[in-house]
Amino acid sequence: MGTTLTDPRVAAALDRMYGEAEEQMAQLRGDKGADFARLAAATAQERADAMSDFYLPVTPDAGRLLYALVRAAKPATVVEFGMSLGISAVHLAAAVRDNGGGRVITTELSSAKVAAATETFVETGLDDVITVLAGDALETLPTLEGSVDFVLLDGWKELYGPVLDLLEPRLSSGALVVADNTSMPDLAPYLDRVRDPVSGYVSVSFPVRGGDSMEISCRTG
């Protein structure tokens, strides 16, 4: 029995995007990576503009993990912080489609990425279950209404905590919060928060690539 991930339009789009992302990784390992390393002190908007052509994707295994988690949890509302060029959103939306209902609300600061990802969502036939909030997530996410059942944090790392602060009052009991790239030192405060026994989460680290991991946290309150 097939899934939306094996739909020819979706599979072709993912193959294309992952192929392009792999080519870009070679650039990031070279001189281009050194250029981007200098952006550490730049604003979020400056970084988004500088990286507007780069995927910065979840791995294929992480994408399938996201798909499986959404299929199992059957969330009515999925919120993604940091859409980039849409690879993770496609996996999330494919799961929502196969669940028979729900919506994916994704955020992105780069206008160029919003335009490109929106074309991909139409190309894959998933645009009807995806809503893109363009602009600063700290400004767009407060406009959400209703409860949130699944969250993917995959934008600028210093904003994981502030974004969770915004969404936490809307998290349903049992909601999953998945944070990517949690092996990065900058995310130690976030991990301390969700792993604290009194935080209201049960949290576990899940390896998704060499030396990196996702943190999967279940809201217990």
Task: Return the DSSP state at 59.
Answer: P
- Report the distance separating Cα 99 and Cα 71, nearest Å: 6
Domain contains 16: no
27-42 pLDDT per residue, tens: 666 555 455 556 666 6
Q: Is residue 171 part of a domain?
A: yes
78: β partners: 104, 150
Residue 56, pLDDT score: 73
Domain residues for 106?
60-219
Please say if the pLDDT value at position 95 is more than 80. Answer: yes
- HSE toward the beta carbon, residue 160, CA cutoff 13 A: 23
Instruction: Say whether pLDDT at 197 is over 80.
Output: yes
Residue 124 lies in a domain: yes
Supply the CATH number for residue 160's domain: 3.40.50.150
In a domain, 51, yes or no: no
On whether residue 82 sits in a domain, the answer given is yes
- CA–CA separation, 167 vs 7, rounded Å? 32
Number of H helices, E strands in the chain: 9, 7
- 184 part of a folded domain: yes
pTM of structure: 0.89
As for how many domains the chain has, the answer is 1
Cα separation, 207 vs 177, whole angstroms: 16
Q: Is residue 202 part of a domain?
A: yes
Strand order of the sheet with strand 77-81? 130-134, 103-108, 77-81, 148-153, 171-179, 212-219, 201-209
pLDDT of 99 above 60: yes
Q: How far apart are CA 131 and CA 161, in angstroms?
A: 23
